A and B are shown apart, each in its own frame.
Chain A
Amino acid sequence: MNLDMFSNIDGLVLRDSSAPFADRAETMETGTMGAMPANPSLAMAYVPYQQWGDTMEPEKALSCGTLFSDLAFPFEKGGSR
């Protein structure tokens, strides 16, 4: 993911590292990089990176709308959480 497209927007403070994963290119089994990017900027909101979790079988995944159980948020009457 190169960030050049942001280069001409003045005033947008950019981190210097070229790609968020480049410096942490752990090729560990799960390629985990933690929930936060390498050097998060202050006063910016971040969505945590997804970690490799358990996956569903293709049949169930298609009906649930996601392969990853962590991302399955079925809308249940009265709310599931």
Chain B
Amino acid sequence: MEPRRMLLQRIKQYDFSLKELNLYLDTHPNCRRALAMFAKYKKLRENAIAEYNEKFGPLTPEQNNDLEHWDWVDDPWPWERS
């Protein structure tokens, strides 16, 4: 799998873990372990997204950080993808 897809896969995995912890924390708001794990994966996810932005561009429009060019439109559009 090419690096871009592997990175995307990692981001999905973190998203999923965070969603699971979110559901658990809804009913266990004081569980320290869940809160610690949530913080851990949140950080990992932020790093992975930052890496993705740097290498492959924004995942979502607001991740555009180029003041001279709106690079959101540079990505291959879904129908243009190989």
* A residues adjacent to B (C-beta < 8 A): 21, 25-33, 49-50, 52, 55, 58-59, 61-62, 66-68
Contact = CB atoms under 8 A, between A and B. Distances in A.
| B-side interface mostly | helix
Interface size class of B (residues with CB under 8 A): 10 to 19
A26 B31 CA distance: 9
B12 interface: yes
Given A31-B29, A52-B28, 18 more contacts: A21-B29, A25-B30, A27-B30, A27-B32, A29-B33, A31-B31, A31-B33, A49-B28, A50-B27, A58-B14, A58-B16, A58-B17, A59-B13, A61-B16, A61-B17, A62-B16, A67-B17, A67-B21
Given A31-B28, A50-B27, A61 B20 contact: yes
A67 B37 CA distance: 11
B16 A67 contact: yes
Interface of B: 10, 12-14, 16-17, 20-21, 24, 27-34, 37, 41
| A-side interface mostly | loop
